[in-house]
Amino acid sequence: MRGLRRIQVGIAVAAVGLGVGVLLAVAGGQHNIHRGAYAALALGIGWGFTGTGLYAWRRWPASNIGPLMIAVGFAGLVKTLAFSNDSVIFTIGSLGEVLIYALLIHLLLSFPSGQLDSRVDRILVFIAYVNTIAVQFAAFVFTDPTAQGCSQCPANPLLIDHADGAAGVIGAAQLDIAVAVLGAVVAILYRRWRDSIPSQRRAFAPVLAVGSLTFLLLMSSLIVEQAGLPAGIDDGLTLALFGSLACLPFAFMVGLVRSRFSQAEAVSSLVARLGGGGGRGALRDALAEALGDPSVELAYWVPSQDAYVDADGQPMRVDPAPKGKIATAIEHEGRRVAAIVHDAGLAEEGDLVHAVGAAAALTLENERLDAELRAHVEQLRASRARIVTAGYAERRRLERDLHDGAQQRLMALGINLRMARNQVESDAQQAAALIDASLEELKKATAELRELARGIHPAALDGGLAAALGGLAGRSPVPVDLVEAPHERLPAPVESAVYFVVAEALTNVARYARANTASVTVARNNDHVHVQISDDGIGGADPARGSGLRGLSDRVAALDGRLELTSADGDGTTVRARIPCG
């Protein structure tokens, strides 16, 4: 920073020095009748731009605007050296005479961000530099000013040959190019003003207005020069142009001050409005007004869901922000509270957004709590609906299983017994065979009923989680390492949820994972149970695919817990659940 400071002081000194030089040069020159006025205006332009440029540079050190303004200032001083009677100084001034306009085009097109955002902008600026440096040089080497009726002008040391025709052709081309470029620039500036949001407009209007006026005057004077109208008009236009140029740095100043002032005003009126309360949406409206962006949206941070939601608690996409929008995160006491989703045009006013956000942070935090509550309610409502639906489907499945399984077997058993009864006297051997077959059916029916009952409530759980999980691990077709299981009793709903999470996860391992081994860890940490089931299979499980995981997730969520699935392709699958059991 200190180095930069030194450079800026150096620039200020150089500008003053060059300004004094300009005064001397003009005073010594005799080839312009308005030289007094020109000298005064040149100092206004040169020092004005340099001064405001230094101010802008210090305020926005990262932006090119400050340095560009300083360059314009110096170009304005250099230009005036053409009034000198000294041949070398005259030549420097003449070569640099129109560079200031290219720099101005660069400055205005890159205002306020300091960057040339579009391809068209970059092309225009490039043409302007070529036209004011290379073409200017080409024209100058064919021009002998003394031969052009300026008898008091000094000699041109770069003169190759005075060729009126060549100089004329090049000069005319230069003028045509300049007029075309200036027309395009004015059109772009107008469109930019029209498309800007109100808060930008307030700050940029003076700059864009005076800038456009300058360019229009420049265009007119070029056209007049080309048309060869009387010198009086030409001189008048040139004086007006210089006057407008001299005003330009102050327009920048006004814009800067105004944007700072409007920022302070916006924040203070926002604070006043926030004190006034108001219903839902009042905060959004207040922020929209303070930022001058009616499209502002608020996204509240819900840490437990690791996501943003809107005021109704519905999930909201913030990162990446919608097209043409930018989300600025707002913190309160070091914690993320919300994000203000605003027009991308406000990006240059990051300070304003942050200042407004900071002023509203406490209110945002309050509304955030509201939104978080709504998000929870919304989540509960959805999961409750899913639980009811799942419960219905589950009952239907049980009924179907009962009907297709045990009930059919019992029916067949009854028929066998009936036939055995019919034959017990006539054919005792056949009857005995039928009774054997009946016993076989009975065994199968009992086994099916047992499986069904386990699906409803695993009896093994009555002996504690460790024993029940041991049973699950033992029945799994994939070898399971039961690393850890709590031996103390947990609340029944928690034990049941843990059991079904492990059971479903192991079923999935057996069905889809193509794993060699799996491991199960259930550990109690303070007031939470942590469940983890990992396998070494193919991974790539999609949580959206099966209803099984979803059902589990709801089951766990019903106990205020969370379920996560990690399953990268080729890297096995891990299901983790965390359930409070305080």
Partner 1 sequence: MIVADDSVLLREGVTRLLENAGHEVVGQAADREELMRKARAHKPDVAIIDIRMPPTHTDEGLQAARTIRKELPGTGVVVLSAYIEEAYALELLGENPAGVGYLLKDRVWDGDRFAEAVQRVAEGGSALDPEVVSHILGRRRVPEPLQELTPRERDVLGLMAEGRSNQAIADALVISGRAVEKHVASIFTKLHLPPAPEDHRRVLAVLAFLRS
| Minimum distance from residue 325 beta carbon to partner 1 (Å) | 50
| Contact (Cβ atoms closer than 8 angstroms) between residue 506 and residue 518 | yes
| Minimum distance from residue 442 beta carbon to partner 1 (Å) | 13
Q: Which is nearer to partner 1, 419 or 558 (CB)?
A: 419
Cis peptide preceding 67, ω within 30 of 0: no
DSSP state of 319: S
| Minimum distance from residue 550 beta carbon to partner 1 (Å) | 25
| Minimum distance from residue 415 beta carbon to partner 1 (Å) | 3
| Contact (Cβ atoms closer than 8 angstroms) between residue 99 and residue 130 | no
Which of left, alpha, beta for 313 (phi over 0: left; psi -120 to 50: alpha)? left
| Minimum distance from residue 447 beta carbon to partner 1 (Å) | 16
Q: Which is nearer to partner 1, 244 or 416 (CB)?
A: 416
Residues near 292 by beta carbon (within 8 Å), at least 6 away in sequence: 197, 198, 199, 200, 201, 202, 266
Q: Which is nearer to partner 1, 87 or 422 (CB)?
A: 422
Q: Which is nearer to partner 1, 351 or 427 (CB)?
A: 427
d(CA 524, CA 530): 6
| Minimum distance from residue 402 beta carbon to partner 1 (Å) | 9
The tokens for 362 are 């406490």
Angle at 448 between CA 443 and CA 450, to 5 degrees: 95
Residues that bind partner 1 (CB under 8 A): 400, 403-404, 407-409, 411-412, 414-419, 421-422
| Minimum distance from residue 444 beta carbon to partner 1 (Å) | 10
Which of left, alpha, beta for 149 (phi over 0: left; psi -120 to 50: alpha)? left
Give burial (CB, 10 Å; 0-12/13-18/19+) of 546: middle
| Contact (Cβ atoms closer than 8 angstroms) between residue 339 and residue 322 | no
Q: Which is nearer to partner 1, 369 or 411 (CB)?
A: 411
d(CA 240, CA 245): 8
| Minimum distance from residue 412 beta carbon to partner 1 (Å) | 4
